[in-house]
Amino acid sequence: MPDQLDQLRTSVVISDDGTRIGSVGRIYLDDASGQVTFVTAKVGLFGQREVFVPVAGAMIGDGLVETPFRSDLVKNAPEVADDFRLTPGQEAGILRYFGLPFILPTDDSLN
C-alpha cells in the first residue's frame, strides 16, 4: 500500500477521453478499510483549486488516474475545504455529484 500511495502522489488525473485534468493533490482513505476512496485534482490556472475525484471505476497505474468522468464534470466538482477533512455528509454530496451511490457506514464497520 505505501508504494501505491507514493505512485498516486505523483500521478496525473485524466478524463474518460484522455484529457489531462490536473495532478493529484491529496489522497483520501476510507477510515474503516484503509482503501483509497478519493484523490484531489489540482485544476485551474497553475492548479490553484483542488477538486475531489472518486477513485471508484478509475484505472490507476503508470502515473495516471484514468477517471470514467468527463473533464468538465471533474473540473467543476466540489472543492477541498481549508481543513482538508471530509465528513460523511460531504462524501455523500461528492458521490451524488458524480452519480455514484453512498453507503452509510454501519456501527460494525466503525469498529
Domain definitions of the chain by residue range: 2-110
- Out of 73-77, 101-105, 106-110, the most confident range is 73-77
Average pLDDT over residues 49-69: 95
Residue with cell 484522455: 18
Q: Please choose, from the candidates 76, 85, 3, the residue with its C-alpha nearest in 3D space to the C-alpha of residue 44.
A: 76
Predicted TM-score of the model (pTM): 0.84
Residue with cell 490507476: 60
Q: Looking at per-residue confidence, does 103 or 35 come out higher? A: 35
The CA R_g of the chain, rounded to the nearest whole Å, is 14
Q: Which of the listed CATH numbers 3.40.30.10, 1.10.3660.10, 2.30.30.240, 3.30.43.10 matches domain 2-110?
A: 2.30.30.240
Q: Looking at per-residue confidence, does 8 or 111 come out higher? A: 8
pLDDT per position as a tens digit, 27-37: 999 888 889 99
Residues 56 and 46: their CA atoms lie apart, in Å, by 26
pLDDT over 90 (residue 84):
no
Q: Which contiguous run of DSSP H or E holds residue 9? A: helix 2-9
pLDDT over 70 (residue 64):
yes
pLDDT over 80 (residue 105):
no
Average pLDDT over residues 85-102: 91
Q: Please choose, from the candidates 56, 34, 53, 33, the residue with its C-alpha nearest in 3D space to the C-alpha of residue 42.
A: 53
pLDDT over 70 (residue 87):
yes
Q: 45 — phi, psi (to 5°)?
A: -60, 120
Residue with cell 488525473: 13
